[in-house]
Structure 1
Amino acid sequence: MDSSQEREEMRKHNSTYHEFLQTLSVLQWILTFLLLGPVCALLITWVIYCQLWPAFVIYIIWMISDWKTPERGGRRSLWMSKWTMWKYFKDYFPIKLHKTADLDPKHNYIFAYHPHGIMSFGAFCNFGTDSTGFSHIFPNLKPHLTTLAGNFKVPLYRDYLLAA
């Protein structure tokens, strides 16, 4: 086998592996979207009925004291928004962010995303993660996604959403 054939085989292997990681990242997103809320509710129910209920009481007290955080912009995790998984997620579709104007970072802006679909893949990828380079394209702007208020009422799930 000559070097050009080896390179072609390596390219095919890397491409297949890359596609697998893309599919895995999308599967993770879909399972999180559909199941994380109910799983958190079941986990909390289990914690209430076992010896860990004091931890649940402490968490609920903290959650009540933190009740207005979603309305005040949340608490984004830069670490979470830069997960490598989101790059594979972006490449699966592929999703791109196109800058059409310079935006003054001293002002606030509303980015409308329509139609966003049921699962909002593009909106999440562009504004909920940094996989499309939002922080480089629009430096000093901090995007925040909005969602149904009920999503922030489910213990534990709300913290996952607030971090995104």
Structure 2
Amino acid sequence: MSPFFSRDSSLWAMPDSMRQMMSLGDEMFRMLDEPGRTFVRESRAMANTAVDVKETPTAYQFVADLPGLSREEVKVQLENGNTLVISGERHRETKTGEASGDKYHRIERSTGKFMRRFTLPDNAELDKIGAQCKDGVLTVTVPKMPPKEPEQPKVVDVQIS
């Protein structure tokens, strides 16, 4: 056998180390890529917080699914006079179970901060906004101002002389 292909040659050892790196590669790349995946998943949670906007004859309703969040973890605010802001943060479960032998195999539920902004129309009664959180569903109700009565033409009786 040629010394070029002998087992002692560094060129022969190189494919072994390449094979070893390749076998570790999937795990290594998964570990290196995990912060990036987490960031993307958490930022998507902010953009993907679904909100239904409904108009009734007397109000506007904003309905958001926020499973697993308590009312203390959600904020409803009014900014710049007429911008409704719904925000909050979903925290990752602590891995305390791992100390007792529990082991996570997959974590798919999104975590992180979320925020949605909505510009309210001119007929919104900003001082009467209400919110309710029940069974993981947040409902924000913005009452409408009653429509203004159309102005009646001013009629003046003129005396005929």
Normalised-by-shorter TM-score class? under 0.3
Q: Give the TM-score taking structure 1 as reference length.
A: 0.25
Query: Which structure dedicates a bigger proportion of its chain to helix?
Result: 1
Which fold has the larger relative contact order, with Cα–Cα distance below 8 Å and residues 6 or more apart in sequence? 1
Quick check: which has more Rg, 1 or 2? 2
Q: Give the TM-score taking structure 2 as reference length.
A: 0.26
Query: Which structure dedicates a bigger proportion of its chain to strand?
Result: 2
